[in-house]
Every structure is written in C-alpha cells, then in structure tokens.
Amino acid sequence: MNRITLSRFLLDAERQGQLADATLRELILTVANTCVAIGDAVNRGALAGVLGEAGTGNVQGEDQKKLDVIANDMLLEANEWTGQLAAMASEEMDDPYPIPAAYPQGPYLLLFDPLDGSSNIDVNISVGTIFSVLRAPEGKTGIEVADFLQRGTTQAAAGYVLYGPQTMLVLTSGHGVNGFTLDHGTGQFVLTHPLMRVPETAKEFAINMSNQRHWEAPVQRYVGELLSGKTGPRGKDFNMRWVASMVAEVHRILCRGGVFMYPKDSRDPSRPGKLRLMYEANPMSFIIEQAGGAASNGHGRILDLQPEGLHQRVAVFLGAREEVDLVTALHAD
C-alpha cells in the first residue's frame, strides 16, 4: 500500500501552491512531532508521575494540570530555535513568548492551547492540542501583543492533535481539511482521512446542559426545539453528547456531523463566552469552515471578529451549517 506520510503530503501541497512555503511546512512538522511526544506523556500518565495538579494557575485564573505545563514547555522548547517563528503565544502564558536572541527569527507566529480538555486527564478521557499559525509583520523585530491580534481569516494554517484511542492530526492550510493517524511503529503521521467534510444533516448536539439555567433566550429556545424531538418543530430526534474537550467534540462533528455550542451565559455578564478566540475558536472555526461547516458567536462569523486581546473569550456555535445558521438567526430575532 502506498501510504502518504505527513511529510510527503505537505511537500506535495507546497509544490501545488496549497502551502505558503517550506518554512510553514517545516513549522507544521515541528508541531506535529512535538505532539507525538506530548501524546506519549499523556499515554504514560500515572506511570510517569505526570497526573494531577501543577499547583499553579494560568492567566484566566484556572488551575493548571501538570501535563498543561509539560505540554506548554515542550512546544516552546521545540519551536524556539528552528528559525521558523518570530514569537509564540499560549493559553497557559500571560504574555507572548519571544524567540531568544541566540536564535534566528522566522516569518510566522504560533498560538496554541497545549492541552485542551485537561480536566479529563486524570480520568483517562480524550484530550488534545490545538494550534494556529499567523504571519508575523514583515521585517519587524520585537513582536508585540498587537501583532497577534489578527482576524481568523488571516490564519496560514490551523490544526489539532487528538490523543484518543488513536493519535490523530487534523490540519488545514486553507485548501480543505485532512486527517492523519499516527503510526506508532514508524512514529509518522499517515494520511487516513483525506478531504474531511462536516455532514450536512445533523442528528447530534454537544452542550453542557448543567449551565442551562444561565443561557440566553435564543439558546434556550434552540436547545428546547432539539430536545422536543419528533413531536417538536424540528420533526426529528437529536442525541446529546458532552465530553468537556473541544478537540474531541469537534473531531466527532467532522466524522459524523452535529453542532457544538459553548454559549454566553448570565453568570458573568461582562464575559462574552468561555472559550478563547485566539487559541480555540479561531483555529477550530477555520477547520470547520474548510470542511464545509460554519462557526458563529451567535451574532456573526467568528473568523471575521477583530481580536481585542490575546486571551479574549467568545461564545461558540460550530458544526453543520444549517444548525449554526439557525441558532444565529434566533439570536438576531
């Protein structure tokens, strides 16, 4: 069998003009290889003493798991010396991470959530890594926060790695979405899910129902219609899923359809949502749109939002276009 490895796929994409340049190709390979190592740490878990709390908190005031910190450090150390990046930013760090002066600067910026769904680590449920690649300002040294605050439409590439029963990389550079499965025998990602598409018809939805009492009226109405099943206005039954890992939720939507929701709620009126625009919503929206789906904050396209801060939060509705358009229309009403 003629297997297409990630390295070969990216080289072919570069030759066909579907990948910007060799530097972006090497950057994606560096991130992918680092995620193999992160996945190994996740798999060893208690055997390596990496489970449990780190005893520290991130900029959002959330308690960090040991593996949050380990994965974050692994991505920084693997990418700081390659000459591919001008700076990095992470959900786990207050400020951008500049490339040390001892190393050459590159033309890209890397943003990442090193371990999405880390609350699941100690109970052995799927977690993942999310990343986004932006272009750095040409010829500029001393990258600042403002240089990261680019609309999601400007992403050069985005992807995630799911550490589940199989380790999978899902990637887009703006020319469709492709999935690669890690062959543990060779240590290489192999193309197994070419040109992934979000099924147009949805039968599932994912939302944290424990927050229902805090939702705004449009979300209450939309979910109520889904729950009413065949006897309700939608005329069919829906199943509900919730893993508390965005990577796992989005991967399920790519494979078998549905809609994922993390709406704004009334617990903190000043906060427009829970998920981070730069590290979660933008890269996942890019992937979903490239797979034929849609992504909205309830009022408009997520990728069109102008970021106002490195750790800005946003409401998220993504998945099958019909469902996302419907819940967005309910917000407009």
Spatial CB neighbours of 280, under 8 Å, sequence gap ≥ 6: 91, 113, 116, 130, 246, 316
Parallel, antiparallel or unpaired: strands 63-65 and 53-57? antiparallel
Give the length of the chain: 333
CA distance 127 to 248: 7
Residue 289 assigned ligand-binding role: no
CB atoms within 10 A of CB 282: 28
Per the annotation, does 309 bind a ligand? no
296 is known to lie in a ligand binding site: no
Q: Is 268 one of the annotated binding-site residues?
A: no
115 assigned binding-site residue: yes
174 annotated to a ligand binding site: no
210 is known to lie in a ligand binding site: no
Is residue 200 annotated as involved in ligand binding? no
The gap from C-alpha 138 to its chain's centroid, in whole angstroms, comes to 26
Task: Label residues 291-314 b or e (16+ Cβ within 10 Å = b).
Answer: bbbbbbbbeebbbebebeebbbbb
Integer Cα distance of 38 and 103 in angstroms = 24
On whether the CB atoms of residues 189 and 181 are closer than 8 A, the answer is yes
What CA–CA distance (Å, rounded) separates 30 from 23?
Answer: 10
10 known ligand binder: no
d(CA 41, CA 254): 26
116 marked as binding residue: yes
167-172 and 177-183 beta bridge pairing: antiparallel
Binding region for substrate: 116-119, 208, 274
Binding region for Mg(2+): 91, 113, 115-116, 280
Binding region: 91, 113, 115-119, 208, 274, 280
